[in-house]
Amino acid sequence: METSAIDQVRAGEFASETTYLNTASCGLLPRRAVEAVRRLADECAAGVRAGAGSFDSVDAARAGFARIAGVAPTRVAVGSSVATHVGLIAASLPPGAEVLAPTGEFASVVSPFAVRGDLRMRYVPLAGLAEAVRPGTALVAFSAVQSADGRVAGLEAVREAAAAHGARTLLDASQSAGWLPLDAGAYDYTVTGGFKFLLSPRGASFLTVTEDAQENLPALHAGWVAAEDRWNSTYGPVGKLAVDARRFDEPVAFLAYHGAEQSLALLNGIGVDAVHAHATGLAARFREGLASLGHEAVPGTSAIVAVPGLGGREPALSAAGVMVSARAGNLRAAFHLYNTEADVDHALDVLSG
């Protein structure tokens, strides 16, 4: 059942010219985000700004993400990509440390550890991730929702297993934050790209760090933006880094963050619980329709639906105006607040042809 808030936002903020079911690749930008980016670009072109953007917008985006993540803004660092955040965490591990991850995990979550060459990487099937944590495991790195097929990890079981063995946890929420409720404080680290279900321009990403984990994380990207006093730290070595997670900030792409400020405010205005009910309801309708056509989707209740072996149908769907993606041989469709039952039915009609 659609909520009035979602109806209003869909009508006022989105203008897709396709049946857009590809948020797992890139979310649609709401009008307010587009307007904020355009306004900043125009100001920069006209020379009416003292700088390239506003840290007020950056910090508003930080606070907006913190609200979605269920943590204080002081635990959120901003940056440009998941891989860069993960690289920071990889640099904190001692040589020989064991990193446990699911088989087929997204490259940005595991590659920064693997390329070091002196860490012990161990991969196991997602379903057995919690059981695979053992004494000596330093870190469990995994996505809340798998990019390739939309499977949702056993979050509580992994957290409990990691705690029992003294392992830290790194959760990638890029395919879940915005539709699946997130308790970032339950993990040592979370990383999230903003350009998918958070509906933000590419170039905005978020790292959360518990206060305990902050003690061991090196501030490798330390520049004046990570200083406690930004504007009095622009020359020479930074005298004092920020006392909270802001010390891990990267220099930001202001255009992305001016847009992210607006997109995150929109999501918080609706509420992730409402988006979750809406998106997973549409995904369930799609799974039922697929079954009626003889196609078995990956089971579950995720807002991302994958159909093994059907990835070859992506070009035909695209030609019919249905935007999906092919990943690891799967046809992948993702549902968000701007989608409707009519979108589901259109995609099913094309697949039935």
The pLDDT value given to residue 247? 97
Which helix (H) or strand (E) is 205 found in, with range?
strand 205-209
Cα dihedral 144→146→152→157 (10° resolution): -60
How many helices and strands, by DSSP H and E, does the chain display?
12, 12
19-71 residue pLDDT tens: 999 999 999 999 999 999 999 999 999 999 888 999 999 999 999 999 999 99
Beta bridge partners of 183: none
The pLDDT value given to residue 4? 82
DSSP string spanning 15-68?
Answer: --SSEE-BTTT-PPPPHHHHHHHHHHHHHHHHT--SSSS-HHHHHHHHHHHHHH
272-286 residue pLDDT tens: 999 999 999 999 999
The pLDDT value given to residue 3? 52
Residue type, 311: G
Contacts of residue 38, defined as CB under 8 A and 6 or more positions apart, other chains included, come to none
87-120 residue pLDDT tens: 999 999 999 999 999 999 999 999 999 999 999 9
Judge contact between 144 and 170, C-beta under 8 A.
Answer: no
195-232 residue pLDDT tens: 999 999 999 999 999 999 999 999 998 999 999 999 99
Phi and psi dihedrals of 161, rounded to 5? -65, -40
Tokens of 212: 């305990």
Which helix (H) or strand (E) is 170 found in, with range?
strand 168-172
Phi and psi dihedrals of 164, rounded to 5? -65, -30
The whole-angstrom distance between residue 256's C-alpha and the CA centroid of its chain comes to: 15
Cα distance between the two ends of the chain: 28
DSSP 308: E
Q: Is residue 174's pLDDT more than 80?
A: yes
Q: Is residue 187's pLDDT more than 90?
A: yes
Q: Where are the alpha helices (DSSP H) in the chain?
A: 4-13, 31-46, 55-69, 82-91, 107-114, 129-132, 155-165, 211-214, 254-270, 272-292, 314-319, 341-352
The whole-angstrom distance between residue 88's C-alpha and the CA centroid of its chain comes to: 17
User: CA–CA separation, 190 vs 186, rounded Å?
Assistant: 9
Confidence of residue 1 (pLDDT cuts 50, 70, 90): very low
With a pLDDT cut of 70, the percent of the chain lying above it is 99
Tokens of 234: 């622009």
156-173 residue pLDDT tens: 999 999 999 999 999 999
User: CA–CA separation, 125 vs 132, rounded Å?
Assistant: 9
- Please state whether beta strands 120-124 and 98-102 pair in parallel, antiparallel, or not at all (unpaired): parallel
Phi and psi dihedrals of 94, rounded to 5? -75, 155
308-327 residue pLDDT tens: 999 999 999 999 999 999 99
- Kindly report the length of the chain: 353
pTM: 0.96
User: In a 3-state reduction of DSSP, which class is residue 100?
Assistant: strand
From the CB of residue 2, how many other CB atoms can be counted at a distance below 10 Å? 15
The pLDDT value given to residue 2? 45
Tokens of 32: 């307010």
243-259 residue pLDDT tens: 999 999 999 999 999 99
